[in-house]
Amino acid sequence: MTNLDSVLPHFQAIFSADGHTVIGYEVIGRVETQKNIESLSSFFGDDSVPDEYKREVDDIITAKALDMVTSTGEEYLLFLHRDATLLLHDADNQFLSSLLHYEEQGLKLSNIVLEITEHDFQGDLDQLNHLLRYYRTYGIKLALNKVGAGRSNLERISLLNPDILKISLKQLGQNSQFQAHQDILYSLSLLARRIGATLLYEDIDAFYQLQYAWRNGGRYYQGNYLKESLSHFLAVDVLKDRLRGECHDFILHEKRHLQRVYDVTNHLQAYIEQILLKHPQGKDLNKWLLQCANEIGNYGFRLYICDEDGFQQCGNVMRKSGNWAIYPEYHQKNWSWRPYFLENIMKLRTDKKGRLSDAYADIETGETIRTFSFPIEDNRYLFIDLTYEFLFEQDIMR
C-alpha cells in the first residue's frame, strides 16, 4: 500500500470464434517491483488484507485501464474484476460513479463487462442480483468467471442470468476424473444455451483445450496459448491467420468424426436388416431376440424391444462372459422417462431407418456406450446397446 504508484493494469486478449480477431481484454492487476512485474492475485486473495485496501488498489487499476482505453479511441469489451461482496458493501457506489465519469470522456458502458466469481460469494444472493440488475440498466454486461473450476451452483448461475459465462479449462486433462470433468463442462454449456449466455472459455494453455472450446460452443477464447497478459493492446487481427488455420483443422477433424459415425450407422443398418431377413420375427420375442443376438457377435452386449410408448415387450437379452442369456424381469419396464427417448421413437417412426445415439454412460455398467435403435414390425423398436470395445475400434467414443 506504500507503493501504489507502481500498481498497473495488464491486459489479456480475448479472441472471437467467428472473426478470429481480438474483441476485448480482461484487465489484470500487476505491480512493478525493483526486480520484476508481479501478479497481485495473492494480494486480492489474502483474507487478512482489509477490504478498503483491496478496493483502493482495484480502483487504481481500473482507472489506469480506462485511461488507456479512452485514449485509444478503440472500442473493446473490457472485462473488469470485482469482488461481489465488496461491490455489495460499496455504499457510495464508487465503481459505477467511476464508470459514469469515464462515460463523459467517450467510454461506452455497453463495452464494460463486470466480472465476478459466483462461487466465492457468501452473502445474500437476492441483494447481489438486485445490484447487478441496476448496473445492467446502464448497459454494463455481467460475466461469471472461473465457472467449472470451483463449486459453481447451477441454480445461482441461472438466477444471476449472466451475459457471459467464463468456463475455465484449467483442469481439463489434468484431472484424474477426466470424463466426469468433461461432463460437468458439457452441462455448463447446456445451461449457457438455456439462459442465453455467451460462452467464453478461459485458461486455454494448449492446442487441445482450444479445440475443446471450439467443439463445445465457445464463442470467445482466452489463455496463454493464444496470448499472455501484456501491458499494451494488440492489433485486432494479430492471430487471425493462425486461428483461421487451426479452426480449419478443427472443422476437418470434426467432419471426419461425423463421417465415421455416419458410416457406422449405415453399416449397422444394413447388418441388422440382413439379420432380420434371416430370422423372421416370431411370436416368442425372447426366443427370437436370442436368435438375433447370436448374429450380433461382439457389436453389442444388450438387446431389447419396446413399443412406441416405451414399454419393453420382452426381457433383456444380455451377453455376459461370452454367452447370451434372457433376463425376463425387464419385461414391461418403461423407458419413456429417458431423455430424448420419445423424440427418438418419433424419428424412427417417421424415417423408417435406424439411428445411432450419442455416447453416454450406461446406468448398469458405468461404461461409455451408444445405442443403435431400429424400427421393426407392429410398431415395435429394437434397441442394441453397443459395446465399449466396438465404439473404440470404430473411433466413435464421443
* Same domain assignment for residues 290 and 387: yes
When pLDDT is averaged across residues 343-354 and rounded to a whole number, the result is 94
* Same domain assignment for residues 285 and 163: no
List Cβ neighbours of 5 (8 Å cut-off, separation of 6 or more). none
**Cell, residue 393:** 475400434
Residue type, 168: S
- Taking the C-alpha atoms of residue 397 and residue 384, their distance in angstroms, rounded to an integer, is 16
- How many domains is the chain partitioned into structurally? 2
- Taking the C-alpha atoms of residue 305 and residue 11, their distance in angstroms, rounded to an integer, is 58
- Taking the C-alpha atoms of residue 12 and residue 327, their distance in angstroms, rounded to an integer, is 59
Q: What is the pLDDT of residue 186?
A: 81
Which DSSP letter does residue 354 get? Answer: -
**Cell, residue 318:** 444380455
Are the CB atoms for 185 and 172 separated by under 8 Å?
yes
Residue 241 lies in a domain: no
Residue 194 lies in a domain: yes
Closest by CA position to 207, among listed 175, 243, 156, 171 = 243
3-state class (DSSP) for residue 374: strand
- Taking the C-alpha atoms of residue 382 and residue 355, their distance in angstroms, rounded to an integer, is 11
* CATH number of 55's domain: 3.20.20.450
3-state class (DSSP) for residue 229: coil
Residue 344 lies in a domain: yes
pTM: 0.88
Query: Which range of residues forms the domain containing residue 262?
Result: 253-394
Burial bucket for residue 78 (CB in 10 Å: 0-12, 13-18, 19+): buried
* Same domain assignment for residues 69 and 208: yes
The per-residue pLDDT for range 210-264, each reduced to its tens digit, is 999 999 999 999 999 999 999 999 999 999 999 999 999 999 999 999 999 999 9
**Pairing label, strands 112-116, 164-168:** unpaired
The per-residue pLDDT for range 3-17, each reduced to its tens digit, is 778 889 999 999 999
When pLDDT is averaged across residues 61-80 and rounded to a whole number, the result is 92
Domain C-terminal end among 228, 262, 297: 228
Residue 84 lies in a domain: yes
Which DSSP letter does residue 387 get? Answer: P
Residue 154 lies in a domain: yes
For residues 53-62, b (16+ Cβ closer than 10 Å) or e, as one string? Answer: ebbebbebbb
* Same domain assignment for residues 282 and 204: no
- Taking the C-alpha atoms of residue 222 and residue 230, their distance in angstroms, rounded to an integer, is 13
The per-residue pLDDT for range 161-196, each reduced to its tens digit, is 999 999 998 888 665 556 667 777 888 888 899 899
User: In Å, how far are 172, 257, 312 from 119, measured between CA atoms?
Assistant: 19, 36, 43
Residue 243 lies in a domain: no
Residue 113 lies in a domain: yes
* Same domain assignment for residues 177 and 45: yes
Which DSSP letter does residue 230 get? Answer: B
Which DSSP letter does residue 111 get? Answer: G
